[in-house]
Amino acid sequence: MKRSFTLVVCLCALIGITSYSSGSASAQTASSRNVVAYVYIANSAGGNTTEISAFVADHAGRLQPVPGSPFMENVGSMAVNGTYLMAASGTNINSYRIANDGSLTYAVSTDYQQVQAGCGGGNQLAFDHTGQSLYAAEYDVDCANNGLTDWAVDDATGGLNYLGLTDTGNWNINTPSFIGNNQYGYTAYNDSCMYYSMNGFKRGSNGMLTEFGPAMNKPTPPSGVSAYIPALGAADPTNHVAFAEY
């Protein structure tokens, strides 16, 4: 499978956790030495390899490299929960422990191809609000359909325990973001061909997701347009959900 890596950014800090998310960014706040957040970027290191550039951000938004940056790790999508940075790498999800100064230390790798051997290509990663559950979106997770693999995080080691598959069929390959109660998450997807969807997920007490079709009051398109096409979705911790449509 040919892969190309685009810029992936994660924001993380030490204390005062406010949220967990993924994709282009996830944010938490901190208060020490004028540190607002740590910023992690997966960028090209030349050829087909990548590296993680890590920065400390202050209250003015200025960035300075953290000790040891860049970290020579070949990764793609990333997500953080304040203790660990998780990153897709080949057929694994790598866990990196975040030190007090924002530097990263490799902890452990977990093979995400759990549904069927040799099947599944990692896309996005996302945590729930507690940081105890991780969700990985996979292409062709069973060699036929897309889906989300659901994982429980081992706080002591950074390892991941496989909970099961949330099968999303031929459509969604994006991870959900959760509203304030951490029970419902939402996303959207458009394959730019013939499939598009707006997806809702209910999180169980053990972290497993169950997909459902959310009832929505969709906007009326202008005359001559049959419907708006959803592309992306995001929720905030105050129970708002936004969808990008065109």
Give dist(CA 169, CA 139) in Å, integer. 10
The whole-number pLDDT of residue 20 equals 44
Model confidence pLDDT, tens digit, residues 135-192? 999 988 899 888 999 999 999 999 999 999 998 876 667 899 999 999 999 988 777 7
Paired residues of 54 in beta bridges = 40
Which residue from 137, 232, 235 is spatially nearest to 182, judged by alpha carbons? 235
Token pair 């693999």 is found at 149
Per-residue pLDDT of the chain (246 residues; tens, 9 = 90+): 333 333 455 555 443 333 344 443 333 444 455 788 999 999 888 888 889 999 999 999 899 999 999 999 989 999 999 999 999 999 999 999 999 999 999 999 999 999 998 998 888 999 999 999 999 999 888 998 889 999 999 999 999 999 999 988 766 678 999 999 999 999 887 777 777 778 889 999 999 999 988 777 778 888 888 878 887 888 988 889 888 888
